[in-house]
Amino acid sequence: MTTKKVAPKQTPTRKKAPVKKVPVKRTVKKIEVEIPPTFVNPVKTPSSLVDKAIDLIKWVDTPFKLFEVIILASLFFFGYFAWDSRTVILDAITQSSKVTNIKEVKVLVPVAMSLQKDLDAVTVVVHKASLVVNSRTTLLALGSKGTRDNTLDGLNSSLFNKDPIRNAAIIAMLNGEVYCDKLENTGKSSEWEIKQGATFICRGGIPPEIGDFDGYVSVGFKTEPTDLSSVKTRINLASSEMSR
């Protein structure tokens, strides 16, 4: 007789309940970084410049204030011009201590007359200059009729002034150049030249060498010459004859 094996009863296994995870709170530290302030230079726009100009015009409400503005502007311009051309001016002042003088007026007259005739000019004016004291003295003037006019004889004025055209001409002559440009009324000498019919002018230093400057000759024309190169050459020849 055989015995049956009885399989043991399996007890059901209980499922474990899921473990609840407790959320972990993470604290994040905020790092504060101080950014230094940046300073931006204000850009001057055209509108801001116009506003300042309008404010200046509004401020000038009396003749005294207008005169003050003109004086300050003239001093500023001349100071900047003198600083910008300081090397040329100082060299010329150093050279002026040498013995290089303009000839006597009686010798200058025939040279000026010949220059006026050759160039068909309406005026020729010779000035003696002193860089040390910034002065200019008129020695002689030839009018449109080719004769000497004593109106300007002995006329004293400043060499460098607020006129940019004359200042540029002086610097050019210090560099040994003949400076030509339209004639502007900036004083008694230019006013006289305009009355004689001159509208264009060429200036050459006496003597024409670089650095030597004892004065200059001013030649006025009714209209601008077509051949300025030959005009400048002739002026240099005359200025050489005018110097000792």
Q: Give φ, ψ of 190 to 5 degrees.
A: -65, -35
Tell me if the pTM is above 0.75.
no
Does 146 fall in a domain?
yes
Q: Residue 38 falls within a domain, yes or no? A: no
Return d(Cα 38, Cα 83) in angstroms, integer.
35
Give pLDDT, residue 121. 97
Total domain count for the chain? Answer: 1
- Domain contains 92: no
Q: What is the mean pLDDT of each run of 10 residues along the chain (244 residues)?
A: 54 56 56 55 54 60 57 53 50 52 93 96 95 90 94 92 86 92 92 96 93 91 96 96 92
**39 Cβ neighbours under 8 A, 6+ residues apart:** none
* pLDDT value at residue 18: 59
Between CA 214 and CA 216, with CA 82 as vertex, the angle to 5 degrees is 20
pLDDT at residue 186, rounded to an integer: 86
Q: Count of residues for the chain?
A: 244
Write down the pLDDT at residue 167.
87
| Selection from 150, 151, 171 nearest residue 159 by Cα | 171
**pLDDT for res 191:** 94
What is the per-residue pLDDT for 217?
Answer: 97
Q: Which pLDDT belongs to residue 3?
A: 55
| pLDDT at residue 83 in the model | 47
Give the structural domain span for 144.
Answer: 105-242
Asked if residue 73 belongs to a domain, the reply is: no
CATH of the domain at 170: 3.30.450.40
123 in any annotated domain: yes
H helix runs in the chain, sequence order: 46-59, 63-84, 86-95, 105-119, 164-174, 188-195, 228-242
In a domain, 60, yes or no: no
In a domain, 162, yes or no: yes
How much is the pLDDT for 220?
Answer: 97
Q: What is the pLDDT of residue 101?
A: 81
At residue 136, the pLDDT reads 93
What is the reported pLDDT for 10?
A: 56
Residue 45 in domain: no
